[in-house]
């Protein structure tokens, strides 16, 4: 087995397994060894599950031997953010107060992946409590700051820090992350991988830590759009154990996607003005590729709403309620980040009128997005407006996308909180480099439009190849 | 110097703890009043939300399903 497996796509690895170039046990052992050896270098590994994984891999090999084929994920190792429970194993939520917590049930998404024959080889590090109401330093984690495989002096992003770093460094072929507001898109953009935030309710959250019942989503973080589609098909679907479940399935069917020439893609010229000057050429080139793909590019702008305050209020209220016991028994002070501690405590004091007002404004946001998507099919914007921050920099110093565009236009500034408030799917696509660090685009569409996003994303990756770049990992 | 296995294990554990603590140590300045900052942020959010015009008929974005 050669080192090229570590950056192979799901489909490539599965094809090689079927051709018997190597066994599932050999593949799982190679990735598990690498994850255990290299993962700590990026503070990416929360819990190795090598022994359990090899046992599972042996069973998959038996299935393959008897030609019991279960699809493209059969035999593929993967990692999961440590907010997803695995029965009988520690699930820390990245936080010291929960470091020894063990559940007796496994998250629905992990059960679903198990049925496909994919092999969980480890839990991946995360920002404590998925970032709660906000944190100040990259070190806000039981595992230390997530370090970026492209430059270890920079952050891998949060809160799915380990998932981003592990996929980028070839420690797992794909990973599961979660997003309440930016936790899949940001680490995907910072680490140069492809990440998909599904529509709210499409993927079950049963067995996942709750931060915000009305905003939490679980999604794939992969090497390519194609892999995101394959993984999403496996994990999506109704689940009576998740009260937020939409009861819908997802089938990755790029062959039936709408023709790109029929798609209207909205963009805002002001976004380019807001991007870091050094990253502008990459975004401008990426926009040319989008245009050349045959879609109709039209100017658009986000509706004017106070996305930040609405998002903060909802997450702070719901998060404080979820973690009320942690706050009142004082164990909240065991968390690593002072801002997060005080933010959680203060969340208990937010008046009900503010929460309800935020949720009513959210209804208006949802309505305006319905209207916006009557005119355009997809929105495109920078995933972040600057490259990964330095690990030692305070994260609240200059939030990405807050610098005003010289023209004063809003553009798509605030698309991450806006998209999360409206429960919309988003796809993060690596689109180049600035200062030797990855930069990325995001595509956002109406609810349950994942196939359209994936179709345009796939065309973008066919025409570019940025997703195939990876950092050098010894 | 000859070390016993137990002593070696203890030293290794202590080193791990020290590294973990260093990695987790909040790097904020000790004088920052995060409690006040959190309350101020809530107040600012409250003021922003209250200024936003919400029609009386607008229901919150959640559903009760009997």
Q: Where do the domains of chain A lie, and which CATH numbers do they carry?
A: 3-193+207-234 (3.90.1300.10)
pTM of the model: 0.93
User: In this complex, do A354 and B49 lie within 8 Å of one another by their Cβ atoms?
Assistant: yes
Can you tell me the distance from the alpha carbon of A430 to that of A150, in angstroms, rounded to the nearest whole number?
Answer: 13
Of B34, B45, B50, the CB nearest to A338: B34
Q: Is the ipTM of this complex over 0.85?
A: yes
Contacts of B28 in chain A (CB under 8 A): 136-137, 338-339, 394
Taking the CA atoms of A189, A193, A199 and A205 in sequence, report the sign of the dihedral they define. Answer: negative
Can you tell me the distance from the alpha carbon of A418 to that of A440, in angstroms, rounded to the nearest whole number?
Answer: 18
In the residue annotation, A183 being an active-site residue is answered as yes
**pLDDT at position A74, please?**
98
In the residue annotation, A181 being an active-site residue is answered as no
Q: How far is CA A235 from the centre of its chain?
A: 14
- Alpha-carbon separation of residue A268 from A63, A122, A293, A297 (angstroms): 50, 40, 18, 10
Structure tokens at A147: 């370090």
Nearest residue of chain B to residue A356 (CA atoms): B60
- Alpha-carbon separation of residue A117 from A69, A74, A87 (angstroms): 9, 4, 18
Residues 6+ away with beta carbon under 8 Å from A138: A145, A146, A155, A158, A161, A389, A391, A392, A393, A395
**pLDDT at position A403, please?**
56
| B2: closest CA of chain A, how far (Å) | 29
Contacts of B23 in chain A (CB under 8 A): 43, 139, 143-145
**pLDDT at position B25, please?**
44
**Pick among A247, A317, A335, A342 to test the B interface (most B CBs inside 10 A):** A342
Task: Please tell me whether residue A277 adopts helix, strand or coil conformation.
Answer: helix
Of B35, B42, B44, the CB nearest to A350: B42
Rounded to the nearest 5°, which phi and psi values hold at A213? -60, -30
Q: What is the DSSP string of A62-104?
A: HHHHTT----TTTT-EEEEETTB--TTSB--TT-GGGTT-B-S
User: In this complex, do A361 and B27 lie within 8 Å of one another by their Cβ atoms?
Assistant: no
Nearest residue of chain A to residue B16 (CA atoms): A143
Whether A108 contacts A206, CB under 8 Å: yes
**pLDDT at position A77, please?**
98
**Pick among B52, B56, B57, B63 to test the A interface (most A CBs inside 10 A):** B52
Q: What is the pLDDT along chain A (474 residues), one digit of tens a residue?
A: 788 999 999 999 999 999 999 999 999 999 999 999 999 999 999 999 999 999 999 999 999 999 999 999 999 999 999 999 999 999 999 999 999 999 999 999 999 999 999 999 999 999 999 998 899 999 999 999 999 999 999 999 999 999 999 999 999 999 999 999 999 999 999 999 999 999 999 999 999 999 999 999 999 999 999 999 999 999 999 999 999 999 999 999 988 888 999 999 999 999 988 899 999 999 999 999 999 999 999 999 999 999 999 999 999 999 999 999 999 999 999 999 999 999 999 999 999 999 999 999 999 999 999 999 999 999 999 999 999 999 999 998 654 445 566 666 778 999 999 999 999 999 999 999 999 999 999 999 999 999 999 999 999 999 999 999 999 997
Residue positions counted in chain A: 474
Task: Please tell me whether residue A218 adopts helix, strand or coil conformation.
Answer: strand
Can you tell me the distance from the alpha carbon of B2 to that of A454, in angstroms, rounded to the nearest whole number?
Answer: 62
Whether A32 contacts A122, CB under 8 Å: yes
Nearest to A58 by CA among A23, A110, A16: A23
Rounded to the nearest 5°, which phi and psi values hold at A382? -60, 140
Q: How far is CA B7 from the centre of its chain?
A: 36
Strands A151-155 and A147-148, bridge-based pairing: antiparallel
In the residue annotation, A248 being an active-site residue is answered as no
Whether A23 contacts A59, CB under 8 Å: no
Strand order in the sheet with A426-434: A45-48, A119-124, A77-81, A175-179, A217-222, A194-197, A426-434, A437-444, A378-382, A264-267, A296-299
pLDDT reading at B10 higher than 70: no
Nearest residue of chain A to residue B46 (CA atoms): A354
If interface means Cβ-Cβ distance under 8 Å, which residues of chain B face chain A?
20, 23-28, 32, 34-35, 37-39, 41-42, 44-46, 48-50, 52, 54, 58-62
User: In terms of DSSP H, where are the helices of A303-435?
Assistant: 307-322, 324-328, 338-347, 352-375, 415-421
Chain position carrying tokens 């270890």? A152
pLDDT reading at B12 higher than 50: no
In terms of C-beta density within 10 A (0-12 exposed, 13-18 middle, 19 or more buried), how is residue B4 classed? exposed
**pLDDT at position B64, please?**
76
Nearest to A317 by CA among B46, B20, B64: B46
For residue B40, the tally of other CB atoms under 10 A from its CB is 12
Whether A368 contacts A257, CB under 8 Å: no
Q: How confident is the model at residue B20 (pLDDT cuts 50, 70, 90)?
A: very low
Can you tell me the distance from the alpha carbon of A182 to that of A400, in angstroms, rounded to the nearest whole number?
Answer: 11
Task: Please tell me whether residue A108 adopts helix, strand or coil conformation.
Answer: helix
User: In this complex, do A96 and B39 lie within 8 Å of one another by their Cβ atoms?
Assistant: no
Tell whether A319 lies on the interface with B, counting CB pairs under 8 A: no
Nearest residue of chain B to residue A146 (CA atoms): B23
User: In this complex, do B23 and A145 lie within 8 Å of one another by their Cβ atoms?
Assistant: yes
Cis peptide before A353 (omega within 30 of 0): no
């Amino acid at each position: 087995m050669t080192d090229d497996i570590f950056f192979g796509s799901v489909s490539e690895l599965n094809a090689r397994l079927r051709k018997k170039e190597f066994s599932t046990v050999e593949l799982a052992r190679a990735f598990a060894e690498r994850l255990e050896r290299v993962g700590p270098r990026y503070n990416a590994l929360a819990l190795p599950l090598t022994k359990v994984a090899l046992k599972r891999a042996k069973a998959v090999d038996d299935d393959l031997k008897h030609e019991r084929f279960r699809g493209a994920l059969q035999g593929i190792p993967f990692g999961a953010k440590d907010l997803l429970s695995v029965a009988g194993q520690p699930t820390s939520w990245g936080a010291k107060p929960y470091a020894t917590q063990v559940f007796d049930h496994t998250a629905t998404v992990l059960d679903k992946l198990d049925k496909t024959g994919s092999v969980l080889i480890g839990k991946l590090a995360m920002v404590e409590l998925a970032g709660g109401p906000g944190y100040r330093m990259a070190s806000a984690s039981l595992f230390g700051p997530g370090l970026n495989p492209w430059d270890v002096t920079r952050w891998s992003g949060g809160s799915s820090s380990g998932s981003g770093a592990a996929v980028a460094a070839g420690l797992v072929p794909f990973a599961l992350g979660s997003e309440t507001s930016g936790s899949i898109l940001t680490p995907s953009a910072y680490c140069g991988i492809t990440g998909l935030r599904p529509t709210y309710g499409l993927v079950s959250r049963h067995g996942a830590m709750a931060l915000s019942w009305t905003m939490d989503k679980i999604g794939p973080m992969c090497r390519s759009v194609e892999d995101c589609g394959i993984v999403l098909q496996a994990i999506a679907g109704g689940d009576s154990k998740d009260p937020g479940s939409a009861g819908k399935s997802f089938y990755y069917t790029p062959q039936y996607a709408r023709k790109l020439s029929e798609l209207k893609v909205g963009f805002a010229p002001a976004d380019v003005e807001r991007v870091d000057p050094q990253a502008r050429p990459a975004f401008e080139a990426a926009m040319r590729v989008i245009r050349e793909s045959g879609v109709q590019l039209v100017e658009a702008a986000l509706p004017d709403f106070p996305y930040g305050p609405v998002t903060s209020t909802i997450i702070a209220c719901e998060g404080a309620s979820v973690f009320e016991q942690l706050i009142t028994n004082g164990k909240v002070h065991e968390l690593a980040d002072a801002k997060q501690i005080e933010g959680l405590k203060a969340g208990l004091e937010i008046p009900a009128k503010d929460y309800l007002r935020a949720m009513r404004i959210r209804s208006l946001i949802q309505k305006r997005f319905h209207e916006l998507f009557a005119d355009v099919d997809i929105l495109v914007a920078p995933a972040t407006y600057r490259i990964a921050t330095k690990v030692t920099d305070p994260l609240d110093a200059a939030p990405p996308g807050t610098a005003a565009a010289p023209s004063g236009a809003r553009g798509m500034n605030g698309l991450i909180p806006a998209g999360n408030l409206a429960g919309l799917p988003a796809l993060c696509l690596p689109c180049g480099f600035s200062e030797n660090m990855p930069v990325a685009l995001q595509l956002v569409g109406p609810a349950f439009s994942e196939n359209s996003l994936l179709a345009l994303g796939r065309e973008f990756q066919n025409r570019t190849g940025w997703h195939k770049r990876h950092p050098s990992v010894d | 110097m000859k070390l016993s296995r137990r002593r070696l294990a203890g030293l290794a554990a202590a080193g791990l703890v020290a590294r973990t603590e260093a990695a987790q140590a909040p790097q904020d300045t000790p004088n920052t009043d995060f409690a006040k900052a959190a309350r101020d942020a809530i107040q600012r959010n409250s003021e922003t939300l209250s200024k936003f015009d919400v029609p009386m008929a607008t229901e919150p974005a959640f559903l009760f399903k009997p």
